[in-house]
Chain A
Amino acid sequence: MELIIDNVSKQYKDKMAVNHISIKLQAGVYGLLGENGAGKTTLMRMLCGILKPSSGTITFDGVDVSEEEYRSILGYLPQDFGYYPEFTASDFLLYFAALKGIPKVQAKRRVNELLSLVSLEDVGKKRIKNFSGGMKQRLGIAQALLNNPKLIILDEPTAGLDPKERVKFRNLINKLGKDSIVLLSTHIVSDIEHIANQVLIMKEGKLIFQGEFDNENGNLEEFYLTQFSEEDNYE
């Protein structure tokens, strides 16, 4: 299992949102860090095939990002997760299960499993418009896992989760990372410390750090802050 990002760039008029990124990812959890506007979301959108790179290629086990087959192994939770307020949680998941090509009987079983996994089984028949922010986020995580994806892209997945839910989420991600490639972005450095096997840091569209980070390397938060110290100097 290998995701190859080869010399990928995205240019908007005079701004290079993602600047010639090349990286190979294998099964495991990858934490993507970077300040606002660093290009994390743009990179993730390109990895999901919903934004075309200006140059470069993205392939998963040789399958190009633009192909239908690529999307069959993909699970995605966007940063600005949208939902249908009038749908129940169960309907929402069944709808996306259908979009992900899961047969109806299998979909019903999977939806029940996932509702239970994200502790929403009691509110499966309730409309999403009545959900709290944390419940919506858990529903978003559930939809990303519907098709047992091999490539899981999670943009700010812990936003809105309370500390208890966050711990549960970390455990889930750890489990998923054994058989899948999980790429998650967050502003919360401690999340990355606890979950990710590998850390990727982006700055101004470029990948400025890639590698394992454990306690022997020092403190990740301090390391991260030193990378952006020049801009963040308010003195």
Chain B
Amino acid sequence: MNNLWTIYKYEIKKVVSRKSFWITSLVCVICIVLTTCSGLIGTYYVDGKPIESNYEAVLKDQAYRRALSGRVIDNLLLQETVEAYSHVPTDVYRYTLTEEYETYARAYSDIFNLIRAWTGMNLTDIKKWRVDENDLYEARMKQLESDWQSIPLMEIEKEYWRAKEKEINKPFVYYYHEGYEIILNSFLTIGIVMLLFVAICLSNLFADEHLRRTDQLVLSSIIGKKQAYWAKLLAGVTVSVVVAIIMSLLTMGLCLMIYGSEGFEMSLQSCISMYSYPISIGEACLIAYGILIIASILVAIFVMVMSEVFQSGVIALALSTCLIILGNVITIPTQYRIIAQIWDSLPMAYLATWNVFDPRTIVLFNKCFPSWQVIPLIYILLSVVLAILGNNFYKKYQVNGR
């Protein structure tokens, strides 16, 4: 057992002593910083003229949102919003550029966007709207039913979501939540960055033993055919998980530091309006990034097993990269329910908020479970199966030819 630990430490050393590990890490950090801070960089131009810098815009909107934080989305707030927007002209090319929008409406833009998302109304409709919070929540429910129909969800799933919808406290309370919203919006990019990192840094781990011909020494040593495989696999998984945790903490830390840490308790529906599970936006961030960390285990094992099966880091890297690209390029229509759901559940597609918080559930024993409750378990199970399959390849390897 002690030796397994020693081998494990040396396997980690093999990964982190490569230049490619540090270069890829640096590129990842740059990607994370750019993703989280991109909203602060640059200037907003209209017809070639600078309107305001993005940094100024963020500060202004933050102040407006903080002013609304803690208010219930009830008749009073809705009325204020409609009144504020009643000043905004509708016969202009872009109403957000008008003086009236800046003076009256901009402060309520988050509430306005919420009304628009839930009811499907445009500015003209909202200006004419006779404010009623019940109408708003009913409209949201109608929109949900319509969405569920078009996916299409099974009746058992619709019942599940209706029951979950009842568990959500209404009316919602608006909180300033920008930090958490940007954490969720960054999830897809951070997910892709993590997948690529794992593919680049681990694709050589097993293949290099064959390429460098150290496989002969390893396999002819007493624990080289059994424990060495698991030590190597564990080392790869450790690197992958630690990097995924660092990436997640860096993203969260930067977002909360720059945009503020308030709003953890705001209901997720204010951000992802058409999702009915009663959780807060802060909890949703933890779930999403928790899945990212678990996905890193599966991806790491997949890459390492491919590296052993093909005895080539290039093939393992090419295969993993192709899958990552395909996962983000190919969309299977939701009408092909089973295939589409399986495809969207694969790590290269699943690491997106719309897939994690997707109304399509996983039905087990006549019970519905949101995908984020089941997919991580499936990932762990698949990781174990892949690791065992990889071990069979490893044990059967014969040092031939050369």
Interface residues of A (CB under 8 A from B): 12, 45, 48-52, 68, 71-72, 74, 76, 78, 80-84, 86-87, 91, 94-96, 98-104, 143, 147
Contacts and interface: CB of A to CB of B under 8 A. Distances in A.
Contact of B221 (A45, A100, A103): A100
Given A71-B221, A82-B209, A87-B10, 8 more contacts: A48-B220, A51-B400, A68-B223, A68-B225, A78-B216, A83-B214, A86-B18, A101-B221
Interface stretch (B1-9, B35-43, B169-177): B1-9
Nearest to B4: A98
Nearest to B401: A12
26 contacts: A45-B399, A48-B220, A49-B219, A50-B220, A51-B399, A71-B225, A78-B217, A80-B216, A80-B402, A82-B212, A82-B213, A82-B214, A82-B217, A86-B18, A87-B10, A91-B10, A94-B6, A94-B10, A95-B10, A98-B10, A99-B7, A99-B221, A99-B222, A99-B223, A101-B221, A104-B2
A94 B3 CA distance: 10
B222 A82 contact: no
What secondary structure prevails in chain A residues at the interface with B? loop
Given A50-B398, A78-B213, A84-B212, A101 B3 contact: yes
B215 interface: yes
Give chain B's interface residue range (CB within 8 Å of chain A): 20 to 34
B218 interface: yes
Contacts of A94: 6, 10
Contact of A51 (B10, B14, B217, B398): B398
A49 B221 CA distance: 10
A91 B14 CA distance: 11
Interface of B: 2-3, 6-7, 10, 13-14, 17-18, 209, 212-226, 228, 398-400, 402
A84 B10 CA distance: 11
B222 A72 contact: yes
Contacts of A84: 14, 212, 214
A82 B7 contact: no
B216 A76 contact: yes
A48 B399 CA distance: 10
Given A84-B212, A95-B10, A100 B222 contact: yes
Contacts of A12: 400
Contacts of B402: 80
Nearest to B6: A98
Nearest to A76: B220
A76 B212 contact: no
A169 B6 CA distance: 30
B215 to A, nearest CB: 7
B222 A68 contact: yes
